[in-house]
Amino acid sequence: MSNVLNRLGSLGAQYRDPVATIDWSACDPALPWLPPGVTSLSILDDLAPEIAVRLSQIEFARLCAAGLWLEGLLISRVTANGFLAAKSDEARIMLQEVREESGHGLMFLEMIDRAGLSGVRLLGPTALLTWIAHRLAPDDAAFWAMVYIGESVTDTFALRALRESDSGNPICPVAKQVLTYHHRDEARHIAAARALLDARIAAMRPVSRLVFAGTVRFLLDRFLRATLFSTEASLEALGLDDPAAAARTAARCPVRRQLARDCAAPAMEMIARSGILSR
């Protein structure tokens, strides 16, 4: 039994439904959904205020789309084998995450709907990462390392937005509640991914370590490109004349690239410290 998992399990025992908890009436249509520090694209400097608000809604909806994608993968992988002979401390954490990630997904769908972006392809290419995720098993250290990276990158982005909104760049109260609610649960999920990773590192085969060490940076780059950069469809939703060219320029935007590096840094530091890359 793991003390860390038991503590996290008791912290997650009381479930609150986010769709019922968020005060949806608190919406302020004049305020952006994300502050400028996490939405700015150098191609779109000096935006009219209403276009800047629209861009922030599109970027927020992308964060929601990234959450939906990651949460769907996590739910499908941890439930795939039906918890046969599972350790109860681990299975309890995974099932708590399944119900919480389902609640997050419903909250994210509400925000995507409110942004008027239902059915819009907000993420970059995800097929390879989805394919790999379906070949990683929750019994493997590499699975939890990937979960840790995915959750840490998106949560670091959200925390940055929350901090900036508290320092003179207010955002729509509903968007802020969604970010705050999600961050509270993710702090536990990230700690659990770390504990589940630690419990599996010793059993990791040398060849698995080599494969992980050889691919993690490549996969991280694909992940950042899929989740943190404007897609052609999202820039089309902004009303740009040539969204394909704008998306290519956005992919090279130095401000965005630095933001992506900053959001990945805490996860990569943990991976380097964890011992998963050694031997």
Q: For Fe ion, how many residues bind (rule: CB under 5 A)?
A: 5
By three-state DSSP, how is residue 274 classified?
helix
Site pattern 121..160 for Fe ion (x: CB under 5 A): ------------------------------x---------
Phi, psi of 165 (to 5 degrees): -70, -25
Taking the complex as a whole, the smallest distance from the CB of residue 31 to Fe ion amounts, in Å, to 24
The whole-angstrom separation of Cα 79 and Cα 97 is 11
- 104 near Fe ion (CB under 5 A): yes
Of 96-104, 205-213, 219-227, 261-269, the segment contacting Fe ion by CB under 5 A is 96-104
The helices-and-strands tally (H runs, E runs) of the chain is 11, 0
d(CA 131, CA 136): 9
What are the distances in angstroms from CA 209 to CA 146, 206, 232? 13, 5, 36
Provide, rounded to whole angstroms, the least separation between the CB of residue 71 and Fe ion: 5
Find the length of the chain. 279
Distance CA 42, CA 255 (A): 7
- Sole window of 95-103, 207-215, 235-243, 264-272 interacting with Fe ion (rule: CB under 5 A): 95-103
CA dist., res. 189 & res. 144, Å (int): 11
CB of 156 to Fe ion, least distance (A): 13
Quote the CA–CA distance of 196 and 88 in Å, as a whole number.
13
CB of 74 to Fe ion, least distance (A): 7
Q: Is 77 in the site for Fe ion (CB under 5 A)?
A: no
Q: Is 189 in the site for Fe ion (CB under 5 A)?
A: yes
Residue 194 binds to Fe ion (criterion: CB under 5 A):
no
209 lines the binding site for Fe ion (CB under 5 A): no
Q: Least distance to Fe ion from the beta carbon of 153, Å? A: 12
Q: Which residues bind to Fe ion, rule: CB under 5 A?
A: 101, 104, 151, 186, 189
